[in-house]
Amino acid sequence: MSRSNRSSMRIGCPACNATVNTPLPPGPGLVDVSDETLQDDSNRLQGTETRCQHCGHELELYYY
């Protein structure tokens, strides 16, 4: 069986309370940008969208 590098996140749908499973791509996480030479876009908030499989409500997820 192959393994994916993508994490899966379970969240509750605010419209119907169903549990939604959605994959998240790997990100750099939070990095220490106190050193000015390290400041770049790697610490930028990213997002993805998914829909509830039960009611179709659109969900937006944001992560680092």
Number of domains in the chain: 1
- CA dist list (Å): 25 to 15, 21, 33: 25, 13, 22
Residue 22 forms part of a structural domain: yes
Residue 14 forms part of a structural domain: yes
Residue 2 forms part of a structural domain: no
Looking at residue 23, its pLDDT comes to 84
Q: Tally the C-alpha atoms within 13 A of residue 61's C-alpha that lie toward its C-beta.
A: 20
Please give the Cα distance from 51 to 44 (Å, whole number).
24
Residue 36 forms part of a structural domain: no
Of 43 and 21, the structure prediction assigns the larger pLDDT to 21
Host domain of residue 47: 7-29+41-63
Residue 48 forms part of a structural domain: yes
Residue 35 forms part of a structural domain: no
Residue 21 forms part of a structural domain: yes
Looking at residue 24, its pLDDT comes to 76
Q: How do residues 6-41 score in pLDDT, each as one tens digit?
A: 678 899 999 999 999 988 777 666 666 665 555 555
Residue 42 has pLDDT above 80, yes or no: no
